Amino acid sequence: MSRVAVLLFASVGAVCAQDARQVMNEVQNRSKSNSQRYEGWLKVIDNKSKISEKRWTYDRLGSAGESKVVLRFTAPAEVKGVALLIVNHPERASDQWMWTPSLQRDRRIAFQDRSTRFFGTDFSFEDLEERDVNQYDYKMLGEEAVGGAPCWKIESRAKKTKSSQYSHVHLWVDKARYVFLRIESFKGDTLIRRIHYSDYQKIQNIWTPLSLEVEDVARKSKTVLKTEKLEYNVAMKEEMFTLQALRRE
Amino acid sequence: MILLRLLTMPYVRKHKLRTVLTIAGIALGVVIFVGMRTANDSVMYGFQQTVDRLAGKTHLQVSAGETGFPEEVLEKVQAVAEVDVAVPVIEAIVQTGIAGQGNLLLLGVDMTGDRSLREYDFEAGEEAVIDDPLVFLAQPDSIMITRDFATQNKLSTGDKLKLETIAGPKQFTIRGIMKPGGMASAFGGNLAVMDIYAAQFIFGRGRSFDRIDLTIKPDYTLEQGRLALEKALGGGLQVDSPSSRGKQFESIASIFSVGASLNSLFALLIGLFIIYNTFSIAVTQRRSEIGVLRSLGATRGQIRTLFLMESAALGLVGSLTGIFFGLLLARGMAQYLSSFFGELYGVTQRVEEISADPRVLGLAMFVGVFMSMLAAWVPARAASEVDPVKALHKGAYESFSDHESRMRLWAALTMCAVAAACWFGGGSRGVPLYAGYLSVIVAAVLLTPAAVRSLVAALRPFLRWVLPVEGALAADSLMQAPRRTSATVGAVMLSLSLVIGLGGVSTASYVSLIDWMNNVLNPDLFVGTSEQIAERSYRFPASFGDEIRKMDVVSEVQNVRTARVQFKGVPVMVVATDIAAVGRRVKPKVVAGERLEMNRLSAEGKGVILADNVALMTRTKLGDIVEIPSPGGIIRLPVVGVTIDYSDQKGAILMDRKVFIQYWQDDSVNLFRVYLKKGVGPEEGKKAVLQRFGGERKLFVMTNQQLRDYALKVTDQFFGLTYMQIFVAVLVAILGIVNSLTVSITDRRRELGVLQAVGGLRRQVRQAVWMEALSIGLVSVILGLALGAVMLFYYLGIIREEVAGIRLDYTYPVKIALILIPTMMAVALSAALGPAESAVRSSLVEALEYE
């Protein structure tokens, strides 16, 4: 399950489960949609307060670790037209290709170090992978409020079959809506990243955060992501998510 | 130490010039040894250092020689379970066009993954370039340079840098500046990094990579990773550690290295003669002192130790001097060698610093001192055996006793027998070849005194005929002191024999090269990507050949693709061309097979044609099935012909272009052989091609004559060693002759004094010394030219069987010999000027009082 995807597009349902895994299953279920489309706006603020911005359109087909995504950059001018095709797999790292219009070339993105930052943002490539809840072990740590909202605080650890840059992750799940409000990722005792989710709106019956902020604790930089014109279960064809389609547009 | 102070120091003080000459003799050998080895090592070290700095965390590299391979190989490599990170690389040299900057090493990498292997240390405020590869990748004109290069050229982020691309000059935007040190110091800091796909475009690489750099997961050993990769990729791709690239470069340049080593060892050997000469003279001159010391109770061991310590001290001073000047020489030579390797082998390297290997310096020091002591051993032993009673008999020791002469003759005959046995019994390669070569040298050295005596005796009537008194005096002086003369003659003889040997090799090479060029290089024009014909960074698309073909002035275009691959451990050149078309135009000299049949079979893709040197070096015969690695797997084809071919010094394998395209999935072209229509002159054709394509493509057009001149120029550079050796021979001659004459004049001061006292003119004394010098020069030249004839025989054998596999005809370098004769005579005469003046200006009274 992609943490970002889940957190962006999670829906809320009335479930009374108290067990950590049951909570996480419910989070995944409530955020589930067959497809999704939105326009994204991203702002990276580095440790010297230098700001860079990017815009893109996002199309996803499928869910729960078996989705395909096409992301096309629309701004700034120097990256306009660059497109990414991401094919997520439930049991392994996603495959990614990039289309560069100025070269008229597509390339398979060679990242294998999943801790690498995603194109200058504070997300790592691993943060963007779609993962199924079953790939992790969960432990209920207790209850803690975030911004006044009561939450379950859950610890997740990747199963031995799954490698991760993080030793463990703390998740704060809103009890009322079954959505994430905060995530903190650790390497040992060191906090690496912190993600805040806000501006939740119910779109097509799915509670969706329209804004999130990622903080790279070591670099002291942060990335703000806002989504606009978000739709779920949009009619999309498989052919849209191929290398040929990537080259066409 | 007491003896050293009592006997040596006064002698050294009295004979300052001779001491300096002795030290110079040792230093000369060490200079050449250190200079050539260090220059060569520096180029190799520079290459290895660049490889290491670029390798970063790379454990292994996948490559297909230098041909590159299709992009799909990357996915195969990444799918291997043992592989952790695998990233593609294109590496090429580009001309900056900036005065004084020379070449820039351009690294094409995939920024999305490359940082996992290499540290890109950026200057503050520019991290976004690497952290946001999207911007970098989205714009194919993006380039990163080093701080050093930026500072030298006053460049900063956002500035434009013009580089040559296959589609003509293009402006690149500097989007990152790397901090000095680490990777940024590779290639002397003249490093640029760009996106790999942009690099593919610039260099006309199509959809191929040069290599893949990878790391192995910590759970596996490198060997496990290597085996897994080899299994996954088949046998056509090489999986090696980064350091193996340095070894390949060394292998490519091995022919030059062997020549340099041979030259430097010979220089040391010649130094040995100079020292021997000096100490022989010293022993002769100090016989009376040695006799007195022996009478006073000095033991033979003490006398021997005295001379050995003296030689060790001189050896030490000479070695240190030689090392100092050798390093200076290396500094000058390294850059020259670097650019020369680029022209000859297409492997350019930038040498920023001299790699003074402590082992080489230590070896030079040891060899200098050891050679010095070795050379002094015989004189030292002779000194220790001086009979105190006979010690005052001047001159008696300068001749050889009959027993010694007989022993020398027998030893020389034994050496000749060994050489003959090696040649006829042991074969013409390997240890027997080298043993025979050394035996001939030793025999020549042993025979030198007898040969000198005979030659001078033969010359005496002629000398007397020229100048009756002076000629007779000169000849007698030489005959009376064969020990003094023969060491000098031996040194000059060896030096000249090397000149003749190397000169013969170069003469034969020119003859063979010109013959080959006449047979094979007959197109009117050659269209390449660079003025350096061996350069293979850029490639043309095959379609460019069609465009040339359409020109009104062009009759035929033949596409040629060259690439170096490993064949039986030798980095040979694959030459892929349309054999049917080429076969109609050229008639190479056939060594094995039948020309039309070999062309037919290879044109049909049913065989390959081997250059004779590849066949010789790899012991491959007509009909053998050869295995050539390629990205598409191992090519197994029979050898259908062996021809003389000098496309590459390490040899060439000629195959049809369609075989290359099939196995390499690459139809790019290095060179077009262009035949013009009748009536179109080469310059006219060249102008037309340049006018048509010059503005839109990076291309370089050579006429047939220009290519021939270029090939001969590179050959000239390669044989530059010969000219250096002539310089060494001249130096040796000057040192030796000045030394000999100085001693001769000192020994004969009384004789010359008497001559002047009884009415002899100063002119006559001067001319007697000149005649003596000219005689030494002439005898040395005669013996050197004769020994050179034998040396040439061995050099051709070594080149054919051991070094390059090139079959060169025995051609005595008459021109070089004709140049050497007057040169050495002039050198001898000029070396005599100082000693002659010293002889005529010495006090007559002192001369008569001498001894």
Predicted confidence at residue A215, as pLDDT, reads 93
Does residue B713 lie in a domain region? no
User: Can you read off the two tokens belonging to residue B750?
Assistant: 């009384």
Please state, for a pLDDT cut of 90, what percent of chain B lies above it.
18
Residue A79: list chain B partners with CB under 8 A: 134-135, 138
What pLDDT score does A14 carry? Answer: 35
Helix or strand holding residue B126 (H, E) = none
| Range(s) of the domain holding residue B464 | 403-518+718-851
For residue B729, the model assigns a pLDDT of 67
CA B380 remoteness from chain centre: 37
pLDDT the model gives residue B395 = 47
**What is the reported pLDDT for B396?**
47
Confidence of residue B443 (pLDDT cuts 50, 70, 90): very high
B125 and A CB contact within 8 Å: yes
Task: Find out whether A151 and A174 touch, Cβ atoms under 8 Å.
Answer: yes
Residues B375 and B431 in one domain: no
B197–A119: do the CB atoms touch at under 8 Å? no
Instruction: Answer yes or no: do B672 and B727 share one domain.
Output: no
Domain edge (last residue) among B210, B237, B264: B237
How do the residues of chain B divide into helix, strand and coil, expressed in percent and rounded to 5? 60, 15, 20
Based on the domain organization, do B433 and B287 belong to the same domain?
A: no
Predicted confidence (pLDDT) per residue in B451-487, tens digit: 988 998 998 999 888 888 888 888 888 887 777 778 7
Q: Which residue of B has its CA nearest to A125?
A: B112
Asked if residue B703 is part of any domain, the answer here is no
Answer yes or no: do B684 and B813 share one domain.
no
Question: Is B662 in the same domain as B722?
Answer: no
Binary contact (B113, A111; C-beta < 8 A): yes
Q: What is the mean pLDDT of chain B?
A: 82
The whole-number pLDDT of residue A13 equals 33
Residues 6+ apart with CB under 8 A from B358: none
How many domains in chain B?
4
Residue B416 has pLDDT above 80, yes or no: yes
Q: How far is CA B374 from CA B279, B318, B434, B435, in A?
A: 11, 14, 22, 20
CB contact under 8 A, B74 and A46: no
Q: Do B133 and A119 touch (CB under 8 A)?
A: yes
Q: Is residue B298 part of a domain?
A: yes
Strand partners, A152: A143, A173
- Alpha carbon B351 to chain centroid distance? 16
Query: Does position B154 have pLDDT exceeding 80, yes or no?
Result: yes
Helix (H, G, I), strand (E, B) or coil at B165: strand
Considering A218-232, B8-22, B42-56, B60-74, the range whose residues carry the highest mean pLDDT is A218-232
Query: Distance of alpha carbon A24 from its chain centroid, rounded?
Result: 15
Contact B113 A46 (CB under 8 A): no
The answer, yes or no, to whether residue B713 has pLDDT greater than 90, is: no
Q: Could you say which of A54, A98, A117 has the minimum Cβ distance to residue B131?
A: A117
Q: Do B88 and A110 touch (CB under 8 A)?
A: yes
- Report how far residue B340's alpha carbon sits from residue A177's, in angstroms, rounded to the nearest whole number: 74
Euclidean distance between CA atoms B324 and B357, whole angstroms: 13
Helix (H, G, I), strand (E, B) or coil at B72: helix
Backbone torsions φ then ψ of B726, nearest 5 degrees = -60, -40
Contact between residue B141 and residue B173 where contact means Cβ atoms under 8 Å apart: yes
Helix (H) or strand (E) segment spanning residue B731: helix B720-747
Is A98 an interface residue toward B (CB < 8 Å)? yes
pLDDT of residue B767: 86
- CB of A195 within 8 Å of a chain B CB? The answer is no
Task: Return all residues near B602 (Cβ < 8 A) that are at least 6 apart.
Answer: B579, B608, B609, B640, B641, B654, B655, B656
Are B557 and B602 in the same domain? yes
Asked if residues B768 and B474 have their Cβ atoms less than 8 Å apart, the reply is: yes
Whole-number Å distance between alpha carbons of B63 and B68: 7
Residue B689 has what pLDDT? 92
Rg, C-alpha atoms of chain A: 17
What Cα–Cα distance (Å) separates residue B291 from each residue in B287, B300, B570? Answer: 6, 11, 62
Pairing of β B103-109 and β B191-195: parallel
Chain B positions touching A119 (Cβ under 8 A) are 132-134
Confidence at B687, pLDDT banded by 50, 70, 90: very high
CB contact under 8 A, B198 and A103: yes
The domain boundary residue, chosen from B184, B219, B237 = B237
Q: Which amino acid, one-letter code, is at A132?
A: D
* Encoded tokens for B259: 């020549």
In a domain, B528, yes or no: no
Please identify which residue in the block is written with the tokens 């996915």. Answer: B75
Contact flag A119-B132 (C-beta cutoff 8 Å): yes
| B531 assigned to some structural domain | no
Give the containing element (helix H, strand E) for B155: none
Q: How far apart, in Å, are the Cα atoms of B571 and each of A172, B92, B421, B614, B805?
A: 62, 19, 34, 10, 13
Residue contact B128–A119, C-beta within 8 A: no
Between B571 and B122, the more confident residue is: B571
Same domain, B552 and B681: yes
Taking CA B826 as the corner, what is the angle to CA B820 and CA B830, rounded to the nearest 5 degrees? 140
Q: Is the pLDDT score of B649 beyond 90? A: no
Same domain for B686 and B786?
Answer: no
Q: How far apart are alpha carbons B61 and B230 in whole angstroms?
A: 11
| DSSP character string of B206-274 | -SEESEEEEEE-TTS-HHHHHHHHHHHH-TTSEEE-THHHHHHHHHHTHHHHHHHHHHHHHHHHHHHHH
For B668, half-sphere exposure in the C-beta direction (CA atoms, 13 angstrom radius) is 25
| Helices and strands counted in chain B (H then E) | 31, 21
Binary contact (B132, A111; C-beta < 8 A) = no
CA distance A32 to A67: 11
Q: What is the b/e burial string over B765-782, where b = at least 16 CB atoms within 10 angstroms of the residue's CB? A: bbbbbbbbbbbbbbbbbb
With an 8 Å Cβ cutoff, is B201 touching chain A? yes
Residue whose entry in the numeric block shows the structure tokens 């359109």:
A57
* pLDDT greater than 70 at residue B432: yes
Among the partner-chain residues B128, B134, B139, the one whose CB lies closest to the CB of A102 is B139
User: Does the pLDDT of residue B591 top 80, yes or no?
Assistant: yes
Q: What single letter denotes the amino acid at residue B2? A: I
CB of B761 within 8 Å of a chain A CB? The answer is: no
First to last CA, chain B: 27
Q: Rounded to the nearest 10 degrees, what angle do helices B482-520 and B814-841 cross at? A: 150
Give residue B131's pLDDT. 55
The pLDDT tens digits of the residues spanning B531-563 come to: 766 666 678 888 899 999 999 999 999 999 988
Contacts of B88 in chain A (CB under 8 A): 110
Q: Say which range, A103-117, B181-195, B214-228, has the weakest mean pLDDT.
A: A103-117
Partner-chain contact B128 A46, CB within 8 Å: yes
Instruction: Name the band, by pLDDT with cuts 50, 70 and 90, for residue B69.
Output: confident
Cis peptide before A76 (omega within 30 of 0): yes
The average pLDDT across B404-432 equals 82
User: Which residue did the predictor score with more confidence, B599 or B765?
Assistant: B599
Number of A/B CB contacts below 8 angstroms equals 76
Show residues of chain B in contact with A102, CB under 8 Å: 138-140
Q: Is residue B43 part of a domain?
A: yes
Alpha-carbon gap, residue B349 to B347, rounded angstroms: 7
More confident residue, B713 or B620: B620
Where does the pLDDT of residue B155 fall: very low under 50, low under 70, confident under 90, or very high at 90 and above? confident
Residue B385 is encoded by which pair of tokens? 């055996």
Residue B771 resides in a domain: yes
ipTM score here? Answer: 0.73
Burial B479-505, CB ≥16 within 10 A → b, else e: bbbbbbbbbbbbbbbbbbbbbbbbbbb
Residues B557 and B693 in one domain: yes
pLDDT at A1: 41
Mean pLDDT over B748-755 rounds to 72
Flag if B114 and A110 touch (Cβ within 8 Å).
yes
Four-residue CA torsion sign, B21, B23, B29, B31: negative
Please check whether residue B501 lies inside any domain of the structure: yes
Facing B128 at nearest CB: one of A52, A73, A100: A52
Nearest-angstrom CA–CA distance, B381 and B311: 13
Please calculate the CA angle B521-B522-B527 and round it to the nearest 5 degrees.
75
What is the dihedral sign for C-alpha B397, B398, B401, B404?
A: positive
Assess whether pLDDT exceeds 70 at residue B701: yes
A103-142 pLDDT, tens digit per residue, is 888 888 765 566 777 777 888 877 876 667 888 899 999 9
pLDDT of B102 reads 66
Q: Which of A84, A95, A108 to mutate against chain B (most B CBs within 10 Å)?
A: A108
Altogether, the residues listed in chain A come to a count of 249
Residue where a domain stops, chosen among B370, B398, B426: B398
pLDDT tens sequence across B283-309: 766 777 777 777 777 788 888 888 888
Q: How far is B94 from chain A (nearest CA, A)?
A: 21
B672 contacts B559 by C-beta, under 8 angstroms: yes
Give the pair of three-digit tokens for residue B322: 């030689």
pLDDT, one tens digit per residue, over B189-203 is: 888 999 888 888 888
Tell me how far apart the alpha carbons of residues B111 and A113 are, in angstroms, rounded to a whole number: 12
- What is the DSSP code (8-state) at residue B421? H
pLDDT over threshold 70, residue B122: no
Q: Mark whether B509 and B626 lie in a shared domain.
A: no
* B40/B78 same-domain check: no
Task: Set out the domains of chain A in order of their start, with CATH numbers.
Answer: 3-248 (2.50.20.10)
Higher-confidence residue of A228 and B569: namely A228
Closest residue in B to A106 (Cα) is: B197
Q: Are B63 and B55 in contact (CB under 8 A)?
A: no
SS3 label, residue B512: helix
Which one of A54, A102, A108 has the shortest CB-CB distance to B75?
A108
Which residues of chain B are within 8 Å of residue A117 when distances are taken between CB atoms? 131
Residue tagged 């032993």 (tokens): B381
The tally of CA atoms less than 13 A away on the side-chain side of residue B770 is 16
Which chain A residue shows the shortest CA-CA distance from B117?
A113
Q: Does B194 touch chain A (CB under 8 A)?
A: no
Picking from A46, A99, A106, A112 by the largest number of B CB atoms within 10 A of its own CB, the best residue to mutate is A112
Q: Report which secondary-structure segment, H or E, holds B802.
A: none
SS (H, E, C) chain A: CCHHHHHHHCCCCCCCCCCHHHHHHHHHHHHCCCEEEEEEEEEEECCCCCEEEEEEEEEEECCCCCCEEEEEEEECHHHCCCEEEEECCCCCCCEEEEEECCCCEEEECCCCCCCCECCCCCCEHHHHCCCCHHHEEEEEEEEEEECCEEEEEEEEEECCCCCCCCCEEEEEEECCCCCEEEEEEEECCEEEEEEEEEEEEEECCEEEEEEEEEEECCCCEEEEEEEEEEEECCCCCHHHHCHHHHHHC
pLDDT at residue number B251 = 66
Mutate to test the interface with A, among B134, B172, B194 (most CBs of A within 10 A): B134
**Do B389 and B446 sit in the same domain of this protein?**
no
CA B268 to chain centre: 16
**Best mutation target, A94, A103, A124, to test chain B (most B CBs within 10 A):** A103
> For every one of its 249 residues, what pLDDT tens digit does chain A have, with 9 covering 90 and above?
444 444 333 333 333 345 899 999 999 889 888 999 999 999 988 887 888 889 999 999 987 678 899 999 998 888 889 998 988 887 777 788 889 888 888 888 765 566 777 777 888 877 876 667 888 899 999 999 999 999 999 999 988 766 788 899 999 999 999 999 999 999 999 999 999 999 999 999 999 999 999 999 988 889 999 999 999 999 999 999 998 888 876
Among B115, B128, B197, the residue with its CB nearest the CB of A116 is B115
Which amino acid makes up residue B318? G
